[in-house]
Chain A
Amino acid sequence: MNGAWLLLDLVLVPMILAAALCAVGARAQFTGIVFYIVYGLLLALAWVRLGAENVALAEAAIGAGLTGVLLLGALARLPAAAPAEPGADGSPGTALRLAAAILCAALALGLGAAVLALPEPAPGLADVAAAHLPATGLGNPVTAVLLVWRGYDTLLEVVVLLLALLGVWSLTPDPLWGGVPGPRHRTRPEGVLVFLGRVLPPAGLLVGAHVFWAGADRPGGAFQAGTILAAVWLLAIMAGLTDAPAVRGLALRLVLVGGPAVFLGVGLAGLATAGAFLGYPPDFVKPLVVLVEAALTLSIAVTLGLLVAGAPERPPR
Chain B
Amino acid sequence: MPWVVMAVALPFAGMLLALPLGRHAHRLAWAVLPSGLAVSVLLVVQVWRGGETVAYAIGGFAPPLGIALRADGLSALLVLTTALVVCATGLFALAEFRPPSAEREARASVLFWPLLFALWGALNAAFLGGDLFNLYVALELLTLAAVPLVSLEGKPETFAAALRYLLFALLGSVLYLVGVALLYGAYGTLDIALLAGAARSEPAAWAAGALMTAGLLAKTALFPLHLWLPPAHAGAPAAASAVLSGLVVKASFYLLVRLWFDALPAVAHPEAATLLAALGTAAILFGSVLALRQERLKLAVAYSTMAQLGYLFLMFPLTGGPTEAQPWSAGAWNGGILHAISHAFAKSAMFLAAGLILEAVGHDRIAGLGGIGRALPMTVFAFGLAGLSLMGLPPSGGFIAKWLLVTTALASGQWWWAVPMLAGGLLAAGYVFRVLNPALAGADEPVALRRPVPRRRQAIPLVLALLSVLLGLLPLGPYRLLWVGRPTAAEEGLG
Q: Taking beta carbons and an 8 Å cutoff, which residues of A are in contact with B?
A: 110-111, 113-115, 117-119, 122-125, 128-129, 132, 148-153, 156-157, 159-160, 162-164, 166-167, 169-174, 177-178, 248, 250, 253-254, 256-257, 260-261, 264, 267-268, 270-271, 274-280
**Contacting pair A153 B67 (CB below 8 A):** yes
Give the chain A neighbours of B121 by CB distance below 8 A: 159
Complex Cα gap A257–B15 (Å): 9
Give the chain B neighbours of A162 by CB distance below 8 A: 19
**Contacting pair A172 B107 (CB below 8 A):** yes
Q: How far is the CB of B271 from chain A (nearest CB, A)?
A: 17
Complex Cα gap A253–B141 (Å): 19
**Contacting pair A250 B20 (CB below 8 A):** yes
Give the chain B neighbours of A274 by CB distance below 8 A: 59-60
**Contacting pair B59 A152 (CB below 8 A):** yes
**Contacting pair A166 B20 (CB below 8 A):** no
**Contacting pair B144 A277 (CB below 8 A):** no
Extra 18 A-B pairs, beta carbons < 8 Å, given A166-B148, A174-B108, A270-B59: A110-B207, A114-B208, A115-B182, A117-B202, A117-B204, A118-B186, A152-B58, A159-B118, A162-B19, A166-B114, A169-B107, A177-B106, A248-B22, A271-B2, A276-B58, A277-B9, A279-B58, A279-B60
Q: Does B178 contact A (CB under 8 A)?
A: yes
Type the 1/0 row for B45-71, where 1 means its CB is closer than 8 Å to any CB of A. Answer: 000000000001111110011110000
Q: A163-B115, A166-B115, A276-B57 are in contact. Are A125 and B144 (CB under 8 A)?
A: no
Q: A166-B115, A171-B151 are in contact. Are A118 and B204 (CB under 8 A)?
A: yes
Among B387-421, those with CB < 8 Å from A are none
Question: 4 tightest CB-CB pairs across the interface, nearest first?
Answer: A123-B188, A114-B207, A276-B60, A170-B148
Q: How far is the CB of A112 from chain B (nearest CB, A)?
A: 10
**Contacting pair B111 A170 (CB below 8 A):** yes
Give the chain A neighbours of B144 by CB distance below 8 A: 160, 163-164, 167
Of all chain A residues, which has the CB nearest B189? A125
Q: How far is the CB of A120 from chain B (nearest CB, A)?
A: 10
Binds A, one of B130-138, B223-231, B486-494: B130-138
**Contacting pair A122 B151 (CB below 8 A):** no
Q: Does B346 contact A (CB under 8 A)?
A: no
Partner of B19, one of A115, A164, A170, A253: A253
**Contacting pair B141 A148 (CB below 8 A):** no
Complex Cα gap A173–B151 (Å): 12
- Among the interface residues A110, A114, A177, which one has the most CB atoms of the partner chain B within 10 A? A114
Q: A166-B148, A167-B144 are in contact. Are A264 and B16 (CB under 8 A)?
A: yes
**Contacting pair A149 B19 (CB below 8 A):** no
Q: A152-B134, A153-B67, A275-B60 are in contact. Are A267 and B16 (CB under 8 A)?
A: no
Complex Cα gap A188–B249 (Å): 52
**Contacting pair A151 B16 (CB below 8 A):** no
Q: How far is the CB of B209 from chain A (nearest CB, A)?
A: 11
Among B192-223, those with CB < 8 Å from A are 202-204, 206-208
> What's the tally of chain B residues with a CB closer than 8 Å to chain A?
60
Q: How far is the CB of B64 from chain A (nearest CB, A)?
A: 6
Q: A253-B22, A268-B9, A276-B57 are in contact. Are A115 and B137 (CB under 8 A)?
A: no
Give the chain A neighbours of B152 by CB distance below 8 A: 170
Q: How far is the CB of A288 from chain B (nearest CB, A)?
A: 11
Q: Does B340 contact A (CB under 8 A)?
A: no
Type the 1/0 row for B103-116, where 1 means its CB is closer than 8 Å to any CB of A. Answer: 00111101100110
Q: Does B442 contact A (CB under 8 A)?
A: no
Q: A149-B61, A253-B22, A257-B19 are in contact. Are A177 and B107 (CB under 8 A)?
A: yes
Question: 27 pairs across A/B with beta carbons < 8 Å?
Answer: A113-B207, A118-B186, A125-B65, A125-B189, A149-B59, A149-B65, A151-B58, A152-B67, A153-B137, A156-B138, A159-B141, A162-B19, A163-B118, A163-B148, A166-B114, A167-B144, A167-B148, A169-B111, A170-B151, A171-B151, A174-B108, A248-B105, A250-B20, A264-B12, A264-B16, A274-B60, A278-B59
Partner of A111, one of B65, B138, B178: B178
- Among the interface residues A111, A122, A160, A267, which one has the most CB atoms of the partner chain B within 10 A? A160
Q: How far is the CB of A130 from chain B (nearest CB, A)?
A: 11
Complex Cα gap A129–B184 (Å): 15
**Contacting pair A257 B20 (CB below 8 A):** yes
**Contacting pair A128 B9 (CB below 8 A):** no
Complex Cα gap A169–B60 (Å): 37
Partner of B16, one of A128, A178, A260, A279: A260
**Contacting pair B185 A156 (CB below 8 A):** no
Give the chain A neighbours of B137 by CB distance below 8 A: 153, 156-157, 160
Complex Cα gap A174–B141 (Å): 25
Give the chain A neighbours of B115 by CB distance below 8 A: 163, 166
Of all chain A residues, which has the CB nearest B208? A114
Complex Cα gap A177–B108 (Å): 9
Of all chain A residues, which has the CB nearest B198? A123
